[in-house]
């Protein structure tokens, strides 16, 4: 079915930033960030992972090994490069069911000197504190999908001589519709708390399939 075309590609949307249950909790330490700075930090973290909210997993690509069956669970582990240097270690479980109509992920992501730039031009470096972890589930048909999930964990950051660590507690959702033979319109949103600040971010864009 053509659902294999849209679902595995879009499944990667959350990989770079939203990744199962954290095994340890982070404590706020070092310099603090206000709400605006926390949103800028998230912007840089998204860029480090591949670009915008929409291009995040498309930049890293979808971790669907060749030969994966339409109903299967498997372990995933990889080291991915950040756009500004450094890396992200990923590990967890991916489950596929109903001929790719449902995909669920429980993944943990640890940053190591992972660098990215925010839209204001600032450059940030990220390390796991201890990691970012999430669970999500995506369902879809040949031409549409919907996704919901959550992320918890901690991230250590540094920027322009400042540094600190932040806890992350986010929920997110996405919907997508194939708009042509080679494109899809994706709407992605997240809300929750980062570094003790409430944030809400959304984006709609068209991606190539």
Name, in order, each residue with C-beta under 8 angstroms of 99's C-beta and a sequence gap of 6 or more. Answer: 1, 3, 70, 71
The CA-based angle 14-17-20, given to 5 degrees, is 75
Q: Residue 58: which pLDDT band, with cuts at 50, 70 and 90?
A: very low
Confirm if 152 and 22 have CB atoms less than 8 A apart: yes
Parallel, antiparallel, or unpaired for β 183-194 and 123-140? unpaired
Question: How confident is the model at residue 67, as a pLDDT?
Answer: 53
Q: What DSSP designation does 165 have?
A: E
Beta bridge partners of 192: 170, 199
- C-alpha torsion 54→56→61→63, nearest 10: -110
Domain count, the chain: 1
Q: Domain span at residue 101?
A: 3-62+70-208
Question: How confident is the model at residue 123, as a pLDDT?
Answer: 97
Whether 176 has a pLDDT exceeding 70, the answer reads: yes
Whether 20 has a pLDDT exceeding 80, the answer reads: no
Going through 63-196 in order, the beta strands assigned E by DSSP cover 72-81, 87-97, 102-112, 114-117, 123-140, 144-159, 162-180, 183-194
Tens-place pLDDT, residues 84-108 = 999 988 888 888 887 667 888 888 8
Whether 33 has a pLDDT exceeding 90, the answer reads: yes
Question: How confident is the model at residue 134, as a pLDDT?
Answer: 83
Question: How confident is the model at residue 127, as a pLDDT?
Answer: 97
Question: How confident is the model at residue 41, as a pLDDT?
Answer: 92
Least confident of 37-41, 69-73, 205-209: 69-73
Tens-place pLDDT, residues 104-160 = 888 888 999 999 999 899 999 999 999 988 888 888 877 888 888 888 999 999 999
Phi, psi of 6 (to 5 degrees): -90, -40
Express as a percent the part of the chain with pLDDT over 70.
Answer: 75
């Amino acid at each position: 079915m053509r659902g294999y075309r849209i679902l595995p590609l879009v499944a990667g949307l959350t990989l770079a930033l939203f990744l199962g249950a954290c095994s340890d909790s982070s404590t706020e330490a070092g310099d603090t960030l206000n709400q605006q700075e926390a949103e800028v930090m998230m912007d840089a973290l998204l860029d480090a992972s591949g670009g915008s909210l929409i291009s995040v997993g498309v930049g890293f690509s979808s971790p669907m090994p060749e030969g994966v069956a339409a109903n299967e669970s498997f372990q995933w582990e990889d080291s991915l490069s950040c756009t500004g240097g450094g890396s992200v270690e990923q590990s967890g479980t991916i489950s596929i069911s109903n001929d790719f109509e449902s995909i669920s992920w429980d993944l943990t992501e640890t940053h190591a000197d992972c660098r990215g730039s925010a839209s204001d031009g600032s450059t940030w470096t990220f390390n796991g504190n201890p990691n970012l972890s999430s669970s999500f589930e995506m369902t879809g048909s040949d031409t549409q999908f919907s996704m919901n999930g959550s992320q918890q964990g901690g991230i250590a950051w540094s920027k322009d001589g400042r540094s600190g660590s932040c806890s992350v507690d986010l929920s997110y959702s996405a919907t997508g519709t194939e708009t042509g033979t080679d494109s899809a319109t994706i709407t992605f949103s997240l809300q929750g708390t980062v570094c003790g600040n409430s944030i809400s971010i959304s984006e709609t864009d068209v991606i190539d399939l």
